[in-house]
Each structure stands twice: as structure tokens, then as C-alpha cells.
Structure 1
Amino acid sequence: MKQLNKTRSAGILCAAFLCATTTLAAHNQTALFHIGTADNNSAEFALYPDQKTSFLATFGGEHAYYVGYSTPAKHWPFALPGPMDSWGGGGYWAGFHPRHFPSFYFDLTKAPKKGESTFHIALTQVNNQHATTLRIEVNGHRQEYNIDASTKAIDARFPSAWLHQGMNTIRMGIVKGGWIQFDNLSLISPDAVLASNATSTLIKEVKAAPFEYENTSSSNRRQPILFDLVQFDHPADLTFKIDGYPAVTKHIEPGKTIQEIDLPALTGKKQKEKLNIVVSEQGNTLYKGTIERSKGT
């Protein structure tokens, strides 16, 4: 991870409620994406108001929200627990260990090359029992914010160059203290353009496996291409097409999965190979890209 060399106070960014309100109004006009409603209420989010005990089963661990497909009512919780919260699997017997880091995934057809972007988080409440630290990571670049019960909003400002064309990730989690409750979240990034093809299939990453399989009976070696994906809400039949190799169709059930498409390992003098890859569902392209694999990885 790329660590920012300071921990910011949310109070410095927006100490007063008036400041938070003014900032939010501007964000509504320019947001690349906006999740939730700016109404000082969490009613539009999942599990609201009294189902937080279901958080572990529904949103625990590395949860994904796919901008353009996901909805707050189904795919984002109204509150995010910290290491001190027993209802989120924390507390003394859990060692006060941070364990929940949900992420927003968003695909950009155009990324800004300069300037500043802002990830804005408006809150309805923050626990009043524990000093709390919220961690935010933009494509691996880390920032941390100390917040308390008086915090109404956090503006995580970062260089727009941290974003790139293709799939981007904003990951967040409470690494110290207790829960926060959301009003709305948004990303402001001038000149960025959000793709419009989000579907129930989120393809987070495609890469060649750093290993090979060997068939002991034939001595043939195989190298998998790994597709890290999340299938939301309902099953899908996905077709994986890699130039020069037969297409493979797989039935994908809802949930997180890493799909493997095995290719013959590189042999002879060929040390590297570029692969053009297309993933589609019923003829609709969900992913198109190029990766490189190496011999002996």
C-alpha cells in the first residue's frame, strides 16, 4: 500500500455543520457518482434501522459495491462497525482487530491526469464512546482520518492522478474505535467519465496465475488465467474468450469467486505472451482487456 505520511483530523477538514452542508450542496452538482440522499437520514441504506446484527452475514469482510449497478438499499449498509463493536464481530475476544473493508468499484472510460478529486462522506452519527479512525484507500493510496461524535462529514482529497482508465477502487474501513452511520457518499473528480455498462457481474481483476499445474500422467503443464469477480443477485452464464484459444462458458452463481481458465504453459523459446481477453454474457461484452503472462511463473 502507498501510505500518506500524515493522519488528518476530520475536524480540520470540516469542523462545523454549516461547512459540511455547504460542501455537500456543491458535491450534489458535480459528483461523478453519488450514493444515498443528502437528508441527514440513513433510511435508504441496507439493514436500516434495526438489523445491524445481520451485518456479519450480509456485509462482513471485503464487501463490494459496483457503481452503476449496485443500490444502497441492497448493497451498502447504513452503518459500518469498528473493532470495538461486538455486533460487527469486534470487541475484547476478537482482539479489537479491524475486519471490515468494503469497497466501491467504478469503471472510468476517461481518467483525469491532473488536479484534485474528493471522496465525500456525510454522516448522520458517529459512536460517542470510542476515539475512531477511518481508513480510506484510493487504488492502494492510503489516508486515515480521526473522527468523533461531532464529525458530520469527511472530505478525503487526493491527487486525481491516483485514478486511471478502467476499473478503480475506493476501499474504506474503521481501523480504530467504533461505528459510523452514513447519510450519503460521493466522488467528485473533474474531467473523469464514468462507464455506463455496469451489470450484475463485477470483474475486479484479470491476471495470469503466478504458478503452473503439471499433469503427472502426460507431463503437460498448464497455466491458469485468473478472473477475480463478484456475481450480484442472480446467476449468469459467462463466456471467457482468449485470442488463440477455445472459448469457455461457465455458469456463475451469486457471490465472490475466482474463475480459472487453464491455458497450455509457454514452452520452448517463447518467454512471454500477450493475451487479448473478452468476457461476455449472451453476446454483451462485460470486460475487454490485454494481459501478459510469462514462462515459468
Structure 2
Amino acid sequence: MARNVQGLRATGRVAAIDLRWERAPWEPLVDHYAVYAARGRAPETEPAALVGKTVYPHFTHAVLGPAAVTWHYRVVTVLASGARGRPAGVSASTVASYATGQPLVVVGSFDHKGLEFALSPAGNSRYLATFPNGVDYRHGVSRPATDWPYLHPGPADAWAGRRRHLFTLRFALDAAPTGALGLALWLTDTHATIPGKGVLAVNGTEITTIAFEGGATKGSLEGDATRPNNPLKPSFVELPLPAAAFRAGENVLTLEKTEGSWHAYDAIGVFAVTGR
């Protein structure tokens, strides 16, 4: 007799939706849970709608883009015998990224890929020779393909000299902003065990220390998190920024990796935001 999924719930966040349910009893033996997804309507439990299988009572549907979107799910228990339970359904929406706002400055594309950056996808061995003094990037003049590396190393990285690395982003504003601002820092991956910390500053004033999430340690070798069955583990840093820290004329945003190992860029930007 097949077991049905119980207590299914879903929670949206930036570019991802987390599903959880109650673990089924051991008997009869559960082989896995099958997760189906669709936009616009409840999915059919057929191979075209299958987004993943898991042996755990949770699943993250990720790489869903910066916009707020609604997804519908069905989760099915599949027994070792091949018997299948009745589908349990739930719906949830992702949270819109700051990247959907009006851009003040952007480096890269918010597309779950880092292939547009310098040295990508596997050129970290050339980092020190190419960027011996870190990064000094001027918006409108510099280019991601040559002037912003895909990896931002930290003091734990021998290939980058075991030291702090400062990335500087310079950009001009016609007028000082008055409304709400947000930082969107998207990563394709980070080091799994020592992703580290970084200090974010605007015009010489420290804003916050960012503690990065552990990833899969695969982003030093490939940069496309949209590829089927890729091993990357994207993460997102989204936080409000004080408008008073910015000014008319040149502005300077810096991120210094002060602890741990590397993170791999998808994109970084500052946006004017409303309704969040």
C-alpha cells in the first residue's frame, strides 16, 4: 500500500522555493519522493514536469530568476516496490530580487551564470598575475570580461597569495538618491566549508559584514548553474542600503574578503527599489 505525502508546505525566497513535508514511516519502504512543478497550473505527474527526486522530506526548487513568480507543485511518494501514493499539492511564489528595481550600477547579468566574467570558468590559477592588486572597476569604462574576475578570493586561498582581496566598483550618479536602495549580490557558488566573510563599504563608510553561505566548491571550475544536473550551489546576498551613503558625482562601493575562501560571481548591483 502506497504512502501519501502529509503536511506539504512551501516557502518562497529570492530565486528559489523550499518545500517540506512529513517523513513517511519506514514501512513500507520508501524509495524516494518525486517533485513535479509547473507555472500557471498544477503540474501533471509526468516526466516533463519532474524537477527532482529526493530521499529526504524536503526539496529546494532553485535557479528561478530575479522576478517574483508563482510555481505549483505536486509531490509523490514512490515505494521500493514501485507503488506510488496520491499526489499532494501546494503553491508558492518567489520573492522579487532587488535586481528587479531601477539599476544605479550593475556588473554582470542576474542569470545564474558567471561566464561573462574575467578568467571564467576555470582560470583561477591566472588570478594573481592578472589582478595582483585586486579589482578597480569603473562603470561605463571597464568590462566584466576583462576587468572583474569570476572568483573573489580570500585569505584562505593559497592560489591567491593567502591575503585579503579588495574589489572596488566606481560609478557616477547625476544626483544623490533619496529613495530606498538595495544591494543584490548573486553568486553561482562558494567554497563549501570556509565561504568566509567580506566587509561592504560605500564611499569609505562601512555598511556591514557579509557572512557568505557555504556552497559546493565547484564554482572554481564551472560557471553555469542553469545547466541540467550541474553541481553548483548558488546563493544570494540581498540587503537594504542607506541612501545617505551615496552622493551626486562619483561613488565608490568596495567589498573586501576578510575571512575564508572564495566566492564566485553571478552579478552584483545597486538598485532603487519600491514596494519591498
Does the TM-score normalized on the shorter chain lie above 0.5? Answer: yes
1:111 is matched with 176
User: Structure 1 residues 64, 43: closer, same or farther in 2, change over 3 A?
Assistant: same
Structure 1 residue 85 corresponds to structure 2 residue 152: no
Q: CA deviation at 1:118?
A: 1.5
Query: Aligned ranges for residues 5-154 of structure 1 at < 5 Å?
Result: 17-18=16-17, 21=66, 22=68, 27-90=99-162, 97-98=163-164, 100-112=165-177, 114-142=178-206, 143-149=208-214, 152-154=235-237
Q: CA deviation at 1:129?
A: 2.2
Q: CA deviation at 1:116?
A: 2.7
Over residues 139-183 of structure 1, what are the superposed CA-to-partner deviations in whole Å (9 max), with x where a residue is unaligned? Answer: 112110112225611123221011011111000121111100011
User: Structure 1 residues 170, 135: closer, same or farther in 2, change over 3 A?
Assistant: same
- Indicate the SS of the match to 1:101: strand
Q: Structure 1 regions of 5+ residues with no counterpart?
A: 1-13, 91-96, 192-297
Following the alignment from structure 1 to structure 2, what is the Cα–Cα distance between the partners of residues 56 and 44? 19
Q: Number of residues paired by the alignment?
A: 170
Residue identity opposite 1:135 in structure 2: V
Over residues 248-273 of structure 1, what are the superposed CA-to-partner deviations in whole Å (9 max), with x where a residue is unaligned? Answer: xxxxxxxxxxxxxxxxxxxxxxxxxx
Q: CA deviation at 1:56?
A: 1.1
Residue identity opposite 2:106 in structure 1: H
Residue identity opposite 1:119 in structure 2: L
- Indicate the SS of the match to 1:137: strand
Q: Structure 1 vs Structure 2: percent identity of aligned residues?
A: 26
Following the alignment from structure 2 to structure 1, what is the Cα–Cα distance between the partners of residues 198 and 65? 17
User: Structure 1 residues 157, 25: closer, same or farther in 2, change over 3 A?
Assistant: closer
Match of 1:156 among 239, 242, 261: 239
Q: CA deviation at 1:24?
A: 6.1
2:258 is matched with 175
Q: CA deviation at 1:15?
A: 7.8
8 Å CA contact 2:101, 2:271 repeated in 1: no
8 Å CA contact 1:20, 1:153 repeated in 2: no
Q: CA deviation at 1:85?
A: 0.5
Higher helix share: 1
Higher strand share: 1
Over residues 203-252 of structure 1, what are the superposed CA-to-partner deviations in whole Å (9 max), with x where a residue is unaligned? Answer: xxxxxxxxxxxxxxxxxxxxxxxxxxxxxxxxxxxxxxxxxxxxxxxxxx
Following the alignment from structure 2 to structure 1, what is the Cα–Cα distance between the partners of residues 145 and 270? 19
Following the alignment from structure 2 to structure 1, what is the Cα–Cα distance between the partners of residues 241 and 98? 17
Residue identity opposite 2:200 in structure 1: I
1:294 is matched with none
Following the alignment from structure 2 to structure 1, what is the Cα–Cα distance between the partners of residues 238 and 251? 18
Following the alignment from structure 1 to structure 2, what is the Cα–Cα distance between the partners of residues 26 and 50? 29
Over residues 31-88 of structure 1, what are the superposed CA-to-partner deviations in whole Å (9 max), with x where a residue is unaligned? Answer: 1222212221111000011211111121232421111111111110011001001111
- Indicate the SS of the match to 1:56: helix
User: Structure 1 residues 28, 115: closer, same or farther in 2, change over 3 A?
Assistant: closer
8 Å CA contact 1:61, 1:102 repeated in 2: no
- Indicate the SS of the match to 2:141: coil
Following the alignment from structure 1 to structure 2, what is the Cα–Cα distance between the partners of residues 24 and 54? 36
Over residues 100-152 of structure 1, what are the superposed CA-to-partner deviations in whole Å (9 max), with x where a residue is unaligned? Answer: 1010001112111x333112110000100215112111111211011222561
8 Å CA contact 1:20, 1:152 repeated in 2: no
Following the alignment from structure 2 to structure 1, what is the Cα–Cα distance between the partners of residues 135 and 197? 19
Residue identity opposite 1:33 in structure 2: V
User: Structure 1 residues 181, 33: closer, same or farther in 2, change over 3 A?
Assistant: same
Question: Bigger relative contact order, structure 1 or 2, given CA contacts below 8 A and separation 6+?
Answer: 2
Moved runs in structure 1, 4+ residues, more than 6 A? none
Following the alignment from structure 1 to structure 2, what is the Cα–Cα distance between the partners of residues 17 and 56? 34
- Indicate the SS of the match to 1:32: strand
